[in-house]
Structure 1
Amino acid sequence: MITRLRNITLIVLTIICSQDTILAQKKPVIYQLLPRLFGNKQANNITYGTIEQNGSGKFNDISLKALDGIKELGVTYVWYTGIIAHASLTDYSAFGIKPDDADVVKGRAGSPYAIRDYYDVDPDLAVDVSRRMDEFEALLARTHEKGMKVIIDFVPNHVARNYHSRFKPEGLEDFGLKDDATKGFSASNDYYYIPDQQFVVPGKPGKNDPLSDLRDLKFAEFPAKATGNNVFSKSPSENDWYETVKLNYGVDYANGEKNHFDPKPPVWLKMRDILLYWASKGIDGFRCDMAEMVPVEFWEWVIPEIKSKYPSLIFIGEAYNSAAYATYLNRGHFDYLYDKVGLYDGLKRLIRNESNANVKEISKVWQQETAGFGDRMLRFLENHDEERIASAGFAGDPLYSIPAMVVSATLSGGPVMLYFGQEVGEPGKGVEGFGGEDNRTTIFDYWGVPEHQKWMNNGAFDGTLLSKGQKSLRDFYIKLMRIATSSDAIKDGRIYEIPVSGNMNNRMYGYIRYTAKQRLLIIVNFDRAQTLEASISLPEEVVKIKASVPATELLTDKKLNISAGISIPVKVAPISAQIIEF
């Protein structure tokens, strides 16, 4: 019997290791979703509605069927946003969790980035609040069962103003417990203070405030703490991250940003413990919020510390300073960084057909800005911070993004990310509450996401309520991600930028990705009126066609035939793309 059990264990371990190896070999595809929104079936959508009025998705709503639908998109990692307990106005006093002070909460549901207990999960997401961690761990197991890995947020720069951990492991201390609040800065403090000053809540009371019955602008914080976005004042503005307080990593901002890293500041040790806690639950990666606001010396120390025990973990840094990319990747040991100010911003201008848009920005990204580490940049067109493509303020039509999505998915072997609802053209429409009408899907409010709900279909996750156009768009995403994750040329290939030819203008671009096993010609046309027609010259370093050869346009499976020679004729309609394997 023992021998049989050992054999079964070996078989299971072999399967798990084989799945991990296969996953590691694929180009990563990350799917971001907020469980609070993803599984919400209610469609009331009352501005500033309560959880009873507008509903909330649960961990349990992300069923095996839902995960099948996500995996269909070629997803290798699911990024569950808003897992860790954060400040909220919803009352769970029956479970020992009081509502936070409305003066320092954005929206009713609150920001997922104003953490109030690093060792707890959001009670909104549980069917049985008393078993909320069990329900999260069950979701983690389901996701792994479907062959996908799990990323959660790590928010190192700031915490909620009312931070207090009720569930930290025995022997660990809360932030600020031993601080000397008479000092604005001390290397041994967890927070920064404005000594002898009372915190001043931003804003003015008024009848037009939908939460005026909950706000008195008298939140008691003395002495005031520095605000999360480096505002060292007792009076942050309404545009600041006033709901959060800045954590002290040993940088004395008042004295020329002088560093005090020896001995290690207490925040470093507390954050290491938090990472180890979640890694021990089987998390596969962390998306590190505002990574550049934390000194690189911390990352240089903590990531190897964590990976010494959990070597397969990945760390993704939210970063916006391209001049610091190399530092945070090489010295800071991040696996991946956001590519927002490079590729995303350039593609957005092309999608919107702005007058200054130019495909040369794509060239600049891979040739200069990310030279040497393009495969370590996370590409995306949507996430919780950015405008929805289909929104009136962005493009108004999700089809305008097709060429940009092809570039995002094929320009490198690094990860590409999708935001839930993007694949069905969710426009982020509506005045949700604190989120307002800002072309985004709110992260602050209880809300149903209408176009995504059509795919969800009350928990069936079969997409039968989608329009023909939405089904076609989702099919495009499925096809593109399958190409991206199965292609040797995209994962490991070299890149050759094709020269301008035919009628190519500054809205048309092409490149070849190639290895010894595979060659792909990728042509994108952002022009809204003109068809791209050209004969694409092939350099000998890629291939020299000596006879007529078959080829396939992979997005449509259309069979082509390329005549003998060293060029490929192409014809690409407006707002479209082709991926030709030859």
Structure 2
Amino acid sequence: MWVDHAIWWQVYPLGFTGAEPVAQPGRPVVHRLERLEKWLDYAIELGCSGLLLGPVFASETHGYDTVDHFRIDPRLGDDADFDRLIAAAHARGLRVALDGVFNHVARSFVGPPEWLRRGADGSHDTFEGHEQLVALDHSQPAVAQYVADVLRHWLARGVDGWRLDVAYAVPPEFWQGVFAQVRPEYPDAWFFGEVIHGDYAGYVAKSGLDSITQYELWKAIWSSLNDGNFFELSYALGRHDALLDTFAPQTFVGNHDVTRLATRLEDERHIGHALAILFTVAGVPSIYAGDEQAFRGLKEDRIGGDDAIRPEFPDSPHDLAVDGWPTYRLHQRLIGVRRRNPWLVRGRTTVEHLTNQTAALRTSHDDRQVLLLLNTSDDTYHFPISATGLQVAAQPENTPPPANPVEVRAHSWTLLA
């Protein structure tokens, strides 16, 4: 399937294009989606093959409070702008996936009020206490029909896949019913759900989703680097590997909901370690726009707490700060290895050597393999393992080739393939 070769560049359009934070009904349409077209070649040069868009539908504020799933947010543009963006992406070979918010809607949602779930006291149920986010009643066939109709509508307009927001709060059987209507008509569409924790494989099996967001691995990557504890990473990789019996997880080290990687890591020398892990273990990886330039941003638990991680981008890539380009080039090198070894999407990773601050991760499939050597200690480390038949495929920028491929300098890493 095409998704086996997918590497997504994730964009949060409302922030990226500088849209005003609150929609004003009656205001003229502002054609901001066209700004994204200037960045498509940038995404391709990065090595990506897909554009993963955050919310683009009419909403009240941040996009996750949808008003109408059939209408492009007028702060971003209109149907013609959307169609032009899809055409421009497809002309470059980029797949496009949309963000579908179907667990909850805005209070001004255009659908019938009886589609909204009510609590025992008769008031509307809300999503995790957010008063402006009202839960849909997923027990109603009409709601399932509506969601299926939305998915089909945009698939017919050229969309290739969907991220299903807050999938974990929706009964898995609901998705099964929706997909039963959609998949016969669009068998090549890819659907992945946002699930934070729990039984990932079980939810996929019950829901019919193709994939799940791998938050457990995300946490283990940055946490193990910060704590000097690769045993946490090893444990998470064992659980990650077991998921491959059911599905290929959607992997990431950053997205629109979490603190930026460059801010999260306590030692900036370890950014490359995190990226090397991401691009050498199984899954369908995504890069959150700006992370490839080492953008910084702290997510805070308050109103407006996402602003720092969802900034406006300059008019074109030429306007980016110069100090971000080394991280961009690092992404390019690692994505290049990934694309030359597409089997990695379902490769199995074994931890061949492990200490608190060093790890050797060998990912293989049939007779193919890559070997990632990680060292976060203050000393050069000689890994007591075999690298026969492998050559250096990637290292930190401006690092001289090692005399011995299994010898890694302090706070460095080596990828052999």
Q: TM-score range by the shorter chain?
A: 0.7 to 0.9
Does the 8 Å CA contact 1:152/1:287 hold for their aligned counterparts?
yes
Is the alpha carbon distance of 1:295 and 1:550 closer, same or farther for their aligned partners in structure 2, counting shifts above 3 Å?
A: closer
Instruction: Note if 1:78 corresponds to 2:29.
Output: no
Are 1:423 and 2:292 counterparts? yes
User: Conserved in 1, the CA contact under 8 Å of 2:7 and 2:47?
Assistant: yes
Provide the rounded CA distance (Å) in 1 between the counterparts of 2:390 and 2:169.
Answer: 52
User: Are the aligned partners of 2:280 and 2:370 in contact in 1 as well (CA < 8 Å)?
Assistant: no
2:274 equivalent in structure 1: 404
Asked if structure 1 preserves the Cα contact closer than 8 Å seen for 2:250 and 2:285, the reply is yes
* Pairs within 5 Å for 1:475-514: 475-488=329-342, 490-500=344-354, 505-514=355-364
CA offsets 1:406-434 (integer angstroms, 9 cap, x no match): 1112111x211111110111112799x93
CA radius of gyration, larger in: 1
The 1:476–1:57 alpha-carbon spacing in structure 2 relative to 1, beyond 3 Å, is farther
* Contact kept in structure 2, 1:489 and 1:513, CA below 8 Å: no
Deviation for aligned residue 1:280: 1.5
Distance 1:482 1:246, change over 3 A: same
Q: Determine the structure 1 residue equivalent to 2:32.
A: 58
Q: What is the identity, as a one-letter code, of the residue corresponding to 1:411?
A: V
Q: In the TM superposition, what whole-angstrom CA distance separates every residue of 1:121-178 from its partner, at most 9, and x where no partner exists?
A: 111112xxxxx111111111111111011111111111001111xxxxxxxxx232xx
Pair 1:470 & 2:324 matched: yes
Residue 435 of structure 1, CA deviation: 1.6
For 1:207, the equivalent position in structure 2 comes to none
Residue 241 of structure 1 is matched in structure 2 by 130
| Aligned counterparts of 2:267 and 2:400: Cα–Cα separation in 1 | 29
Q: Is it true that 1:334 corresponds to 2:209 in the alignment?
A: yes
Shift of 1:569: 5.1
**Which SS does the other structure have where 2:48 is aligned?**
coil
Q: Is the 8 A contact 2:248 2:346 kept in 1?
A: no
Among 337, 360, 375, the alignment partner of 2:231 is 360
Residue 27 (structure 2) aligns with = none
The answer on whether the counterparts of 1:114 and 1:160 sit within 8 Å (CA) in structure 2 is yes
CA distance in 1, matches of 2:376, 2:208: 36
Select the residue among 370, 377, 385 that pairs with 2:257: 385
Other-structure match for 2:170: 294
Give yes or no for contact 2:104–2:135 (8 Å, CA) kept in 1. yes
CA-to-partner distance for each residue in 1:448-494, whole Å, 9 max, x for gaps?
35xxx3xxxx33x236x532x42111100111112112215524544
2:185 equivalent to 1:313: no
1:225 aligns with 2:81: no
Contact kept in structure 1, 2:201 and 2:243, CA below 8 Å: no
CA distance in 2, matches of 1:569, 1:361: 25
Q: Is the 8 A contact 1:402 1:575 kept in 2?
A: no
Report if aligned partners of 2:14, 2:62 keep a CA contact under 8 Å in 1. no
Matched, 1:125 2:125: no
Q: Percent identity?
A: 23
Aligned residue identity for 2:134: V
SS in 2 for 1:416: strand
Q: Distance in 2 between matches of 1:367 and 1:492?
A: 14
Distance of 1:526 and 1:416 partners within structure 2: 23
- Structure 1 residue 286, shift from structure 2 partner: 0.7
Partner of 1:532: 381
Q: CA RMSD in A?
A: 3.0
Counterpart CA distance in 2 for 1:25 and 1:531 is 36
Q: CA deviation at 1:316?
A: 0.8
Task: Flag the 1:294–1:247 CA change in 2: closer, same or farther, 3 A.
Answer: same
Separation (CA, whole Å) in 2 of partners of 1:570 and 1:513:
16
Q: What SS does structure 1 have at the residue aligned with 2:261?
A: coil
Q: In 2, distance between residues paired with 1:288 and 1:124?
A: 22
Aligned pairs for 1:82-481 within 5 A: 82-87=55-60, 110-126=61-77, 132-164=78-110, 174-176=111-113, 179=114, 190-193=116-119, 195=121, 224-229=123-128, 240-250=129-139, 265-323=141-199, 325-340=200-215, 342-351=216-225, 353-354=226-227, 358-368=229-239, 370-373=241-244, 376-391=248-263, 394-395=264-265, 398-412=268-282, 414-428=283-297, 434-436=303-305, 440-442=308-310, 448-449=312-313, 453=314, 458-459=315-316, 461-462=317-318, 465-467=320-322, 469-481=323-335
Q: Which amino acid aligns with 1:162?
A: S
Contact 2:390 2:416 in 1 (8 A): no
Match of 1:34 among 5, 12, 15: 12
Give the aligned residue type for 2:372. I
One-letter amino acid of the counterpart of residue 576, structure 1: S
Give the AA of the match of 1:143: A
**8 A contact 1:377–1:415 mirrored in 2:** yes
The answer as to whether partners of 1:329 and 1:336 remain within 8 angstroms in 2 is yes
Rate the CA distance shift 1:50–1:396 in 2: closer, same or farther, 3 A.
farther
Matched residue type, 1:534: F
- Say which SS state the counterpart of residue 404 (structure 1) adopts: helix
Residue 150 of structure 1 aligns to a residue whose secondary structure is strand
* TM-superposed deviation, 1:80: 1.1
Distance in structure 1 (CA, Å) of the matches to 2:222 and 2:359: 15
Partners of 1:86 and 1:111 within 8 A in 2: yes
Asked if 2 retains the 8 angstrom alpha-carbon contact of 1:398 and 1:425, the reply is: no
Alpha carbons of 1:191 and 1:519: their partners in 2 closer, same or farther (altered >3 Å)?
A: closer
